[in-house]
Amino acid sequence: MASLTDTAELVEDLQARIENLETKIAFQDDTIESLNDSIAQQQQQIAQMTFKMNHMVERLKSMQPSNVASQEEETPPPHY
């Protein structure tokens, strides 16, 4: 049979291990919450940038064509 001292040491060891696990869980919970906040903020930024990009695409589509001829339509310079 285990002595009273051995049992007390075992209980103390188990309590220390439980406290260590509880500390790790607390840090993990904090890290998960921090990461979740970061992801939510990034998702909001992505949504804003997507909206702005779509707005710019629509503006570009609605612009009048330029009066300058394209490269293919330009006549070659005289030295060709």
Q: Write down the pLDDT at residue 75.
A: 74
pLDDT at residue 8, as a whole number = 93
Phi–psi pair at 22, nearest 5 degrees: -65, -40
**How far apart (Å, rounded) are the C-alpha atoms in residues 45 and 28?**
26
Kindly report the pTM of this predicted structure.
Answer: 0.59
Helix segments in the chain, DSSP class H: 4-62
Residues 9-62: pLDDT tens digits?
999 999 999 999 999 999 999 999 999 999 999 999 999 999 999 999 999 888
